[in-house]
Structure 1
Amino acid sequence: MRGHDRINTCLPEELIVEIFRRLDSKPSRDACSLVCKRWLALERLSRTTLRIGATGSPDLFVKLLARRFLNVRNVHMDERLNISLPVQLGRRSGSGQSALSSLKLHCVNEKNGPEDGGFESYSLSDAGLTALGEGFPKLEKLSLIWCSNVSSMGLISLAEKCTFLKSLDLQGCYVGDQGVAAVGKCCKQLEDLNLRFCEGLTDMGLVELTLGCGKSLKSLGIAACAKITDISFEAVGSHCKSLEILSLDSEFIHNKGVLSVAQGCRSLKVLKLRCINATDEALKAVGSCCLSLELLALCSFQRFTDKGLRAIGSGCKKLKNLTLSDCYFLSDKSLEAISTGCKELTYLEVNGCHNIGTMGLESIGKSCPRLTELQLLYCQRIGNHALLEVGKGCKFLQALNLVDCTSIGDEAICSIARGCRNLKKLHIRRCYEIGNKGIVAIGENCKSLTELSLRFCDRVGDEALVAIGQCSSLQHLNVSGCHQVGDAGIIAIARGCPELTYLDVSVLQNLGDMAMAELGEGCPKLKDIVLSHCRQITDVGLAHLVKNCGMIETCHMVYCLGISSAGVATVVSSCPNIKKVLVEKWKVSPRTARRAGSVITYLCVDL
């Protein structure tokens, strides 16, 4: 019956709340909350997660949120995000509106300095942490990213009230030993702890934490904590027997600390190390003790050799993910040891390891058939034969990234194309031996390709993109700096790749308006486009592009001589979803600046 509210009269509150909980997006929840006052109240009860950026008077803002959302379990606060003042929520009467009004007034007063002097503008203080604890006593997950104005006093107050806390991220917070020790004492269910860039922390605090909640701790992250030494990790090894994930970046940790963790935390599955003072002895302990290890990342090691990787290959049979970055003393023997022992390997990244060459990667291709992602960055000594073996042996490869691999050419890419037909992502940058032949083979064989990036590949031209136009599932294309690409190649993409959402054609001097018109006709889902330094594209081509591509969100068009203020106005007026336009300031008319100033980013500002 028209006008009869069957939902509110028939459905109990519990059922409506459960429906709200099953909504998969915040916009859907927000829309439901606007239906009526009852739905607004129930939707607030169903919210379990809050995400907060930098905000004016954050302490008062936290108190306001605590009154409105009573069942929150997860709070993420990141003060690196832009200042976002609360919006006017209408003319509802009541304490909520008065609180919001007072919050706005406080923000205005803060422009001339806080009246009460209790905290720094736009920074969460200890009072805010106390309000978090009082307002959300059932909190299970808390992230305080770069909240530099909080201290141990606030953390102690929070820990005493939020005893159910399971995950705590204090990245960039200058908290001290007393606060971290209080977390260990009060939060006995803590499983995940991130202390990266907590510069005020020393061994005393971390040792006290492990004594308090070491039994429950499963994940720990430490970076740039100059006062954390081997003493802390001896305590971690002694008390954190359930630890599964460790991320450690420190110049002050030696073999002793890593040995203690390896010997004491035998359930370790993920280990990320950047410890320049560790040697082969530490890796040997990992290989012999951490038999459940699945992910290993070794960065900037200059004091261990192939002996350490041999131990990993011999002991860590479950290893699936390996990253070797700037490890200068590793050679082909390291990858041979990994390929022999780690048959489950699915991800391999070799970055700047200058002594690893063709033979090492050949062994991976022959012995690791489950490899799905391969990253080779700045590997000058790896040649075509390495990827020939990968193409033959790694049939499940889905992602390949090559950066500055100057010895790899078309022959290798053809082998990948013929052997790895499930390839979905191919990223190539500054590999000057790769040209049309290799990319044509990709287009003819890899029909599931969704991402292709060919940055500054001088030998790639229209012929290659005509073949890629056969990959109808392509969503991401970057041909920046491929000077031989012109209208014909981009037109082929426009006609064959209707799913395209991202396109970078910057620095293409032969690209003109005809390609833009075809993109407008064939790629209606396009969201992000980079046209910078394309001298032949004019306002006419831009108008054809945005006529049908109404979903465009970002457009970069600096140093495009043929685009004027009229073209910029066309973009901002024709694209209702536009979020960012990068352009020279002199091309923005006063009217366009008034209409869309919030989405325009200028290449340079007035001096």
Structure 2
Amino acid sequence: MFWGTPVQKRSAVDKVEKRPNTAPLLTISSAKKHKFDPFEKKIKNPNHSSSLQKFSKVRVDGNERIFSGSLGIKTNSRPKTIGTELTPNKKRKDNLLLIGGPQFDQPPISSIRAHDEDERVSRGKLFPVNLCICSYEMSAEGDIFRKFSNKHVIGTPVDIIDMSNWDVTDSTLQLVSRIAPQCTDLSCPKNDKVTDKGFVEFFFRTTLVSKVDISGTPFITDSTIETLAKCCKQLKELNMSACFRMTDDSLAALGENSASLRVLYASECPLLADNGLIALSRGCRKLVNVDFSYCPLLTDRGLRGLVNRSFDLTQVKCNGNEIIDCSLFRVPALGQEMSCNLFISCQVRSFILQGCAEIDDEKLSWLGQACMQLKSLDISNCPLITSVGVDALSASCTQLEALNIIGYGKVIDYAICGLAQKCPGIRALDLAGHEILSDMSVSFVISSCLRLNYLNLSGLSNISDTTFVPSAEIAQEMEHLKGTPEYLRSVRDPLRSLHLTDVFNLSDASLGAIGILYSRLHVLDISNCHMITSAGIAKMCKFCTALKSLSANYCPRITDKAINYICRRCIDIETLCLSARKNTASCNKISNKSLKKLLANCLKLKVLEMKNRLKLTGADIKEIAAIDLRSITLAGCTNMKPMGVAKLALGCPKLFHINISRCKNLPRKFVDELYRVRIPYCE
């Protein structure tokens, strides 16, 4: 009923009829009763973002379409990828990261990367709050909603809230805290639109939170952590890495209120210092895993208090802290110049000290004496460590299972032989960069360490076929003694990852021996091994049928025959890199026939890299069975034709990265059309 005179009534009707077409999206038909929407005030602002308007429109009309990870999507289209913004009136050209050739008038690579980083931070769509009462199952890659979760009753608040792929504001957090007060797990990383206001109210209402990830949120301060510590007494895991405004007050608040805290990640927080670490250690006695990497103000004084009071501490990560030198294990004796170790049996099982340049052999020996039960150690890029320190470490820590000593070539054979003899149960060993090592030490490691799962020998230019061939011959002879005690003692655990980049003296015989020794190999990197040919690839593929990743970049003797063996034997391969060096004869040794076979036979292929292959055109591609292909690099394939690239783009629905730089046969109009065709999920 309209109260007023007939003249007033007619003027009101005229105003309604003359309303412009840019009315707020919250305007609904008269058949529906208007409901309160907390976003209504923001939507009516015409200057607000289109993504928020689109989201609110779907929320108003939400009863007509159940939200299942796709907003405003046609019913016959594929499920919506989370990170893509829906703008139906404006075609977007950044859903597919496509790098064109330099002959086009395109922005430089630096601007493209900057644009991609902006898109990653600004996801383009606000977190839909109805996910707080509807739980979904996602794809294995975590990018597509597949179906409703059978473990959750729709309409009841969820316990786990993941905002990793959405834009989040303070208003969103405040609303979510009212809808799901029983939340126990919050993940809201890398959001630059959230401040202390949103987090303070959220943690004040959700007092049952036990796991929080707010890493990479630049505008929050100590107030957020203080509220979290005071209100959420059950907090067990906290990730506040790259929160640059956090100070020692945050660590002190955690030490006073969070006695149940077990995991703390606080890397890249430049204002944290020793006093905060000491205050944290006084209250958090149950810490198991801590990460204080790239905190330049931390010293051994703070770590000493933390390690001394946290009796359950097993892993300490301090990458890139140049002041830390492991002097926390040193206690000077009164009246004497000698020193002893601080802890006779330190409980820490894993130290990650990559890039701590002040650690030398003496301090490494202190660490070994204090942590005799040490199982994992990363001392890569520590230039003062030599063979003396490695030998002293292996003598003390006989239970060592993982060692990373990537360095500058100061470790020689006797230290590695002693390591293999004293630590036979080692599972992961990284020796990359130590050019002085020879066949003697590496072959001793292969014959003695039968439990290896990961081995990196990249850059060891002195090793040759005598590293692998003798051990393979012994393994073949032991097959005749199968079932005997001697055979059981010689059985190896499956090596999953082997890296042999820049090992120039490696030949086909070594690849055959690798296939015999490690038949269940998953990852193999033989890039820049000039003596490897297609025959060696054939020998390896005969045994390593479970191979998932092969990198053979810049191997000039590999031809189409190698691709044929891979397609017949290694059908489960997911990553294949076969690039050639520019302006060499190897650019013409792989033809279009190989690309056609790979796309037709390797069903699980996800990453393909074939740079500078001049014979690739793509014109012969007829069937594409590799529908899981995510990334393909064809840079420098100057004869690539538009039809071939179009077949790849249309035949691989999950493809998101194409590198076609320096492909001269691809005109600008084709690149623009390719962008338009590869815009999925839009109306």
TM-score, structure 2 normalization: 0.69
1:277 matched to 2:277? The reply is: no
Q: Secondary structure at the match of 2:379?
A: strand
Q: How far is the alpha carbon of 1:443 from its aligned partner?
A: 2.2
User: What is the rounded CA distance, in whole Å, between the counterparts of 1:325 and 1:66 in structure 2?
Assistant: 44
Please point out which of 539, 544, 551 is paired with 1:467.
539
Contact 1:392–1:415 (CA under 8 A) maintained in structure 2: no
Q: 1:73 to 1:284 in 2, by over 3 A?
A: farther
Contact 1:387–1:415 (CA under 8 A) maintained in structure 2: no
Q: How far is the alpha carbon of 1:64 from its aligned partner?
A: 4.2
Q: How far is the alpha carbon of 1:268 from its aligned partner?
A: 0.8
User: What is the rounded CA distance, in whole Å, between the counterparts of 1:429 and 1:416 in structure 2?
Assistant: 21
Match of 1:490 in 2: 563
Please point out which of 480, 494, 500 is paired with 2:573.
500
Q: Secondary structure at the match of 2:275?
A: helix
Larger strand fraction of residues: 1
Match of 1:298 in 2: 353
Q: 1:534 to 1:296 in 2, by over 3 A?
A: same
AA at the equivalent of 2:495: L
AA at the equivalent of 1:258: L
Contact 1:330–1:353 (CA under 8 A) maintained in structure 2: no
Q: 1:549 to 1:130 in 2, by over 3 A?
A: closer
Q: Secondary structure at the match of 1:387?
A: helix
Please point out which of 151, 163, 180 is paired with 2:195.
151
Which deviates more, 336-345 or 197-206? 336-345
Please point out which of 635, 646, 651 is paired with 1:558.
635
AA at the equivalent of 1:481: Y
Q: How big is each residue's C-alpha offset from its partner over 1:417-463, in whole Å with a ceiling of 9 and x where there is no partner?
A: 56757323212222223232322211233221222121122222222
1:65 matched to 2:131? The reply is: yes
Q: How far is the alpha carbon of 1:277 from its aligned partner?
A: 1.2
User: What is the rounded CA distance, in whole Å, between the counterparts of 1:55 and 1:64 in structure 2?
Assistant: 18
Contact 1:497–1:522 (CA under 8 A) maintained in structure 2: no
1:76 matched to 2:162? The reply is: yes
Which deviates more, 402-411 or 388-397? 402-411
User: What is the rounded CA distance, in whole Å, between the counterparts of 1:460 and 1:473 in structure 2?
Assistant: 20
1:581 matched to 2:658? The reply is: yes
Contact 1:266–1:290 (CA under 8 A) maintained in structure 2: no
Match of 2:77 in 1: none
User: What is the rounded CA distance, in whole Å, between the counterparts of 1:430 and 1:287 in structure 2?
Assistant: 42
1:256 matched to 2:342? The reply is: no
Q: Secondary structure at the match of 1:477?
A: strand
Q: Secondary structure at the match of 1:147?
A: coil
Please point out which of 378, 388, 396 is paired with 1:323.
378
Match of 2:150 in 1: none
Q: How does 1:87-166 map to 2 (within 5 A)?
A: 122=167, 124-166=168-210
Please point out which of 171, 192, 198 is paired with 2:243.
198
Contact 1:287–1:316 (CA under 8 A) maintained in structure 2: no
Q: Secondary structure at the match of 1:193?
A: strand
Larger helix fraction of residues: 1
Q: How far is the alpha carbon of 1:163 from its aligned partner?
A: 1.0
Please point out which of 252, 267, 274 is paired with 2:312.
267
Match of 2:498 in 1: 426
AA at the equivalent of 1:262: V
User: What is the rounded CA distance, in whole Å, between the counterparts of 1:400 and 1:416 in structure 2?
Assistant: 16
Match of 2:609 in 1: 530
User: What is the rounded CA distance, in whole Å, between the counterparts of 1:289 and 1:187 in structure 2?
Assistant: 36
User: What is the rounded CA distance, in whole Å, between the counterparts of 2:406 and 2:342 in structure 1?
Assistant: 22
Q: 1:379 to 1:416 in 2, by over 3 A?
A: farther
AA at the equivalent of 2:131: L
User: What is the rounded CA distance, in whole Å, between the counterparts of 2:625 and 2:186 in structure 1?
Assistant: 43
1:238 matched to 2:311? The reply is: no
Match of 1:333 in 2: 388
Match of 2:105 in 1: none
Match of 1:119 in 2: none
User: What is the rounded CA distance, in whole Å, between the counterparts of 1:441 and 1:376 in structure 2?
Assistant: 20
Match of 2:519 in 1: 447
AA at the equivalent of 2:666: K
AA at the equivalent of 1:503: L
Please point out which of 423, 426, 441 is paired with 1:371.
426
Q: How big is each residue's C-alpha offset from its partner over 1:82-112, in whole Å with a ceiling of 9 and x where there is no partner?
A: xx7xxxxxxxxxxxxxxxxxxxxxxxxxxxx
Which deviates more, 411-420 or 293-302? 411-420
Q: 1:593 to 1:333 in 2, by over 3 A?
A: same
Q: Secondary structure at the match of 1:377?
A: coil
Compare CA radii of gyration and give the structure with the larger one. 2
Q: How big is each residue's C-alpha offset from its partner over 1:526-560, in whole Å with a ceiling of 9 and x where there is no partner?
A: 333222211123335x516x445454343222221
User: What is the rounded CA distance, in whole Å, between the counterparts of 2:373 and 2:82 in structure 1?
Assistant: 36
User: What is the rounded CA distance, in whole Å, between the counterparts of 1:65 and 1:554 in structure 2?
Assistant: 30
Please point out which of 239, 242, 253 is paired with 1:208.
253
Which deviates more, 403-412 or 270-279? 403-412
Q: 1:370 to 1:40 in 2, by over 3 A?
A: farther
Q: How far is the alpha carbon of 1:258 from its aligned partner?
A: 1.0
Contact 1:267–1:290 (CA under 8 A) maintained in structure 2: no
AA at the equivalent of 1:587: L
Q: 1:228 to 1:574 in 2, by over 3 A?
A: closer
Q: How big is each residue's C-alpha offset from its partner over 1:510-531, in whole Å with a ceiling of 9 and x where there is no partner?
A: 1123434544565343333222
Contact 1:399–1:425 (CA under 8 A) maintained in structure 2: yes
Q: Secondary structure at the match of 1:276?
A: coil
Q: How big is each residue's C-alpha offset from its partner over 1:443-486, in whole Å with a ceiling of 9 and x where there is no partner?
A: 23322122212112222222211111212222221111111111
Q: Secondary structure at the match of 1:145?
A: coil
Q: Structure 2: any 5+ residue segments left out of the alignment?
A: 1-62, 70-80, 84-119, 136-155, 332-340, 476-491, 581-585
Q: 1:524 to 1:251 in 2, by over 3 A?
A: closer
1:219 matched to 2:263? The reply is: yes
Q: How far is the alpha carbon of 1:41 from its aligned partner?
A: 10
Q: 1:125 to 1:421 in 2, by over 3 A?
A: closer
User: What is the rounded CA distance, in whole Å, between the counterparts of 1:552 and 1:317 in structure 2?
Assistant: 47
Match of 1:13 in 2: none
- 4+ aligned runs moved over 6 Å, structure 1: 39-43, 50-53
Q: How far is the alpha carbon of 1:330 from its aligned partner?
A: 1.4
User: What is the rounded CA distance, in whole Å, between the counterparts of 1:493 and 1:392 in structure 2?
Assistant: 28
Q: How far is the alpha carbon of 1:597 from its aligned partner?
A: 4.0
Q: 1:592 to 1:134 in 2, by over 3 A?
A: same
Q: How far is the alpha carbon of 1:210 from its aligned partner?
A: 1.3
Match of 1:477 in 2: 550
AA at the equivalent of 1:438: S
Contact 2:196–2:223 (CA under 8 A) maintained in structure 1: yes
Q: Secondary structure at the match of 2:608?
A: strand
Match of 1:355 in 2: 410
Q: Secondary structure at the match of 1:133?
A: helix
Match of 1:456 in 2: 528
User: What is the rounded CA distance, in whole Å, between the counterparts of 2:572 and 2:639 in structure 1?
Assistant: 28
Question: Higher relative contact order by CA 8 Å / sep ≥ 6: 1 or 2?
Answer: 2
Contact 2:601–2:626 (CA under 8 A) maintained in structure 1: no
Q: 1:284 to 1:438 in 2, by over 3 A?
A: farther
Q: How big is each residue's C-alpha offset from its partner over 1:308-342, in whole Å with a ceiling of 9 and x where there is no partner?
A: 32233233233222211211111223222332233
AA at the equivalent of 1:339: S
Q: Secondary structure at the match of 1:325?
A: coil
Q: How far is the alpha carbon of 1:577 from its aligned partner?
A: 4.4
Q: Secondary structure at the match of 2:240?
A: strand
Q: How big is each residue's C-alpha offset from its partner over 1:209-244, in whole Å with a ceiling of 9 and x where there is no partner?
A: 21011x111111222322211100111221111111
Q: How far is the alpha carbon of 1:127 from its aligned partner?
A: 2.2
AA at the equivalent of 1:248: F
TM-score, structure 1 normalization: 0.77
User: What is the rounded CA distance, in whole Å, between the counterparts of 1:525 and 1:206 in structure 2?
Assistant: 46
Contact 1:211–1:239 (CA under 8 A) maintained in structure 2: yes
Q: Structure 1: any 5+ residue segments left out of the alignment?
A: 1-36, 44-49, 85-121, 601-607
